[in-house]
Structure 1
Amino acid sequence: MHTTEIHQLLSPRAISVGLPGATKTDVLNNLIDLLQGHPLVQDLEAVRAAVFEREEMMSTGVGKGLALPHAKTAAVSGTVAAFAVTAAPVPFDAIDHLPVRLLFLLVGTEAAKSQHIKVLSRVSRLMNQEAFRERLLQAGSAED
């Protein structure tokens, strides 16, 4: 799939409102678990390893309560995404030192590097809008 339309990358199964977890590791694991059974994911544990390896390089907590964990791996055959609003604020080593409640996970192949960057850029622009972040935090379900 060669799209930068975020809604086309997210299925309702890959969205969680009230994602549990008290630590960065907990919420990342629970977020990655949302990709279980996704047709483009060949090896969920390899995806998990790639996401945590990228996170070790530098925190993906970008500020304003948002984290954009991402990775490139051969464990997927196309770009996949998951989104979550955590049940409670989670310490995430964010750039502004604030806890995180919104997480957008993006995993793609090395070949889709350009799409990867475009999607992350689009999500960043959307999440920079306080009204948009507030609407997400008020969501009661994945459909919202």
Structure 2
Amino acid sequence: MLEELLRPETININLESEDKDEVFEEMTELFVASCPGLDRSEVLDSLFEREKKMSTGIIQGIAIPHAITAKIKKPICAVGISKEGIDYEALDGKPVHIIFMFLFPADDAALHLNILKRLALMFDVPDFYKSLMDKNSCAQVVQAIVQAEQSL
């Protein structure tokens, strides 16, 4: 399922952002560059609106920001890794190092929930977090995610 959403052009293993606002901007650029029909401002507004409800920094060191938009027909995913960590206002108060950002179409809530559930299960796979942090290329990140998903 996640394998179908992953594309090297929407993965950044060297995030430069220092806080949540910056990382939303930086990762939104990955979406806009790979999906020319997306409006940068609309994507950011959707992400920030969802984030107002509750921080998506929900698992130690990991954030899963997501939003719904009518501008896409199928979900898209961006992955970002920060070796230094990002001040994300996470629920545990600790920096975030791995970010899975999703945009979901407005008409498929079941798929939206299924993808988020599947990702949460993957973080229960031993050493998955460490594995992602150790990767040196986008292709290696994709491979690690695919392997973790297949182990479920």
TM-score (norm 2): 0.85
Distance apart, 1:63 and its partner CA: 2.2
Q: Is the 8 A contact 1:46 1:75 kept in 2?
A: no
Give the gaps of 5 or more residues in structure 2: 141-152
Aligned length: 140
Name the structure 2 match of 1:62. Answer: 58
Q: In structure 2, how many angstroms separate the alpha carbons of the residues matched to 1:15 and 1:121?
A: 21
Q: Which amino acid aligns with 2:66?
A: H
Report matched runs for 1:1-144 at 5 Å: 5-39=1-35, 41-144=37-140
Q: What is the TM-score with the length of structure 1 in the denominator?
A: 0.90
SS of equivalent residue, structure 1 residue 86: strand
Query: What 5-or-longer segments of structure 1 have no aligned partner?
Result: none
Superimposed CA distance per residue, residues 32-72 of structure 1 (whole angstroms, 9 cap, x where no aligned partner): 11112334853232111101111112110012100000011
Cα deviations by residue, 1:3-35 (Å, 9 ceiling, x for unpaired) = xx1111011000010111111111111111111
Structure (1/2) with the larger helix percentage: 2
Please say which of residues 125-134 and 104-113 is displaced more in the overlay.
Answer: 125-134
Deviation at 1:123, TM superposition (A): 0.8
Query: Sequence identity, in percent?
Result: 26
* RMSD of aligned alpha carbons: 1.5
Counterparts of 2:33 and 2:92, CA distance in 1 = 34
